[in-house]
A and B are shown apart, each in its own frame.
Chain A
Amino acid sequence: MPRSSQRALIGAGIALLFFLLLFPATRVHAAAPGQAIRAARVQREGLVRLRFAQPLERADAANFRFTEVAAPDVPIPVREVRVEAGNVVTLVVGQPLDPEGSYRIELAEPPLARAVRPPRWALLFSAVLSAALINNFVFTRYLGLCIFFGVTKKRDTALGMGATFTFVMITTGMFSWMMYQFVMKPLQLKFLQILVFIGVVAFLVQLLDTVLKKTHRALHEKFGIYLVLITTNCIILAVPLLNAAADAGPLESLALAMGSGLGFALALFLMSCARERMELARVPASFEGLPIAFALAGLFALAFMGFSGLSFFR
């Protein structure tokens, strides 16, 4: 009984964390009494669609100020305002807009303002998708190849490894991000990043191993062997290094860690399925073993190229 309640507690904690991260997105931004902008989104072909709570009194172009968050001092000119049914107002601007971008709409009368950007969960999802498929660590960044070719002979091992890696990548990724943002950056110790990230990974993996051994013996028996292999693996280390290089925020870091982990697990799974079948194939003697596995990975990489340019918003 205490075991299950413990798990429920952990689950609730994780759910709470996610809620806290997503909360700002669900908040209503501007709230003048009565009138408010209920929804706002941009369309690629240069349209801004706004839904108001009440019919809008002034619907001339001069009433609106539409800007990019990265360039708040040069408003994007509004060419035309179309009032539609259901309190929907469409602004026509003279240039294509990026549905993934961050914009801001301001009204002079009544004084309203609102950020126009995709909801946070959508951005998170898109970033996870991008890290897992478009920039897949194995097939486009070529990281973690030693492990990739080492453990993909059997499907079970591949799955266990993938799950362990994803979990460790998220934990170490977030912990390293905190170290980087709150310790190394303020203290100007960025040049120690390799040393610190290695320390963080080694420490957390060791901690995980000990905790798992004490609390969940069955899990430890299943995943413990993979944990040993993880310390100072390049794919684990790449996540904090990439996050540090991009100076990423908490959500972006989480998305990169999660997406990379899932992408790696996917790569391991696909490869192990293919290699299990390969055992039945007749391979030229010189290509047996690693060379044919590399060729196979090449085919997967070719297939994954089809994902680039994929966007959740297009």
Chain B
Amino acid sequence: MSAREETLRITASMTVVCALGAAVLGGVYVGTERYARAAQSRGERNAIVELLGLDSTARVTEVRQFLAEDRGEVVYEARPFGAEGAPARRLVFALDGRLVAQEGAGGAVLPAGAARPLGRLFLASRDGLPLGFVVEGTARGYKNRIRFLVGIGRDFSIAGVRVVEHEEDPGLGAEVATRVFGGQFIGRDAANIAALAVTRDPMPEDWRSALAQLTRVPAESWRARQAGLIARERARPIYAVTGATISSRALTEGLKSTVDHFRRRWALLEPWLGAGS
């Protein structure tokens, strides 16, 4: 066999191997993508239901926020949760809060690249009355970004906090993702949150054991059962995780600005989306 012939054979066989590999991967991708998407939306749905204590009669609407930078407009797209590709209801606001345009369901899909996604929020409603909201937020943690969901009640008090993604140290900063830390925010109203501070003082033992129950008891009944303790702790700051003051402070600040931003955005959106989409 000549050297040229051999080179040809090698090239041909490598091409075949690469093509086969790509074909196998394409097949696996097509096969698994549906499940990956379903799993993601199931996870989000569970988080929303848990954070707001919803039952099966509640409707959840997903609202995506985009910024069209060149036109100076903010676009909101609302569609029933999990109905990817369903026609969306769209509201367009100018940066100063003026409504620019409104389209009912059936509007064309936003052209890709024309707008930068700013975030998502979920709105739960029953019989046209809002039950609560879940808003996505981020904070700059000790090592990297902390991504979280915060449940917000009709009165803008916090219904629950769920850390979705973080890279904090296990055993230290990672503790901010636990129910014991997140539970401290439950029930605090807008004014309380705006003035919220973080302390390094140790957490009282009775409060810690009460918070530990959150892993077993749904937030609703926990609030009823621990009403006394919650009222006492309401006047106090958030207790930082021991050895992770920066992470604790980061999440607290992130929650503060997320709730504040949401409150001001909802003031714009309420007349249009208040009754669910």
A interface with B by C-beta (< 8 Å): 70-74, 95-96, 98, 100-101, 134-135, 191-192, 195, 305, 308-309
Contact = CB atoms under 8 A, between A and B. Distances in A.
A72 B67 contact: yes
Contacts of A195: 18, 21-22, 25
B179 interface: no
Interface string B10-35: 00000000100110011011000000
B83 to A, nearest CB: 22
Contact of A309 (B22, B118, B142, B264): B142
Contacts of B143: 134-135, 308
Contacts of B97: 73
A100 B261 contact: no
Which are the 5 A-B pairs with shortest beta-carbon distances? A191-B29, A73-B74, A74-B264, A74-B261, A71-B261
A98 B21 contact: no
A72 B29 contact: no
A96 B253 contact: yes
B140 interface: yes
B142 A72 contact: no
Given A74-B265, A95-B257, 8 more contacts: A73-B265, A74-B264, A95-B256, A98-B140, A191-B28, A191-B29, A308-B169, A309-B246
Contacts of A73: 67, 74, 93, 95, 97, 265
A52 B135 CA distance: 38
Nearest to A94: B194
A103 to B, nearest CB: 13
Contacts of A305: 169
20 contacts: A70-B118, A71-B261, A72-B95, A73-B67, A73-B93, A74-B264, A74-B265, A95-B257, A98-B140, A100-B140, A101-B140, A135-B143, A135-B144, A191-B25, A191-B26, A191-B29, A192-B22, A195-B18, A195-B22, A195-B25
B118 A71 contact: yes
A177 B59 CA distance: 41
A191 B26 CA distance: 8
A101 B97 CA distance: 24
Interface in B118-137: 118
Measured as residues with beta carbon below 8 angstroms from the partner, the interface class of chain B is 20 to 34
B188 to A, nearest CB: 17
Contact of A308 (B142, B253, B264): B142
A72 B67 CA distance: 8
A98 B265 CA distance: 22
A134 B260 CA distance: 31
A274 B111 CA distance: 58
Contact of B74 (A72, A134, A135): A72
Interface in B1-60: 18, 21-22, 25-26, 28-29
B245 to A, nearest CB: 9
B57 to A, nearest CB: 33
A270 to B, nearest CB: 21
Interface in B225-255: 246, 253
Contacts of A192: 22, 25
Contacts of A309: 142, 246
Interface centre among B97, B143, B253 (most CB of A within 10 A): B143
Contacts of B21: 195
Contacts of A72: 67, 74, 95
B230 to A, nearest CB: 26
Interface string B251-277: 001001100110011000000000000
Contacts of B169: 305, 308
Nearest to B168: A308
Contacts of B28: 191
Nearest to B69: A72
Interface centre among A71, A134, A309 (most CB of B within 10 A): A71
A303 to B, nearest CB: 15
A85 B21 CA distance: 68
A24 to B, nearest CB: 16
A71 B119 CA distance: 9
A203 to B, nearest CB: 12
B246 to A, nearest CB: 5
A66 B94 CA distance: 16
A76 to B, nearest CB: 9
A61 B88 CA distance: 38
A95 B195 CA distance: 10
A44 to B, nearest CB: 11
B34 to A, nearest CB: 13
Nearest to B258: A71
A100 B144 CA distance: 13
Contacts of A95: 256-257
Contacts of A71: 118, 257, 261
Contacts of B257: 71, 95
A110 B144 CA distance: 39
A151 B223 CA distance: 58
Contacts of A191: 25-26, 28-29
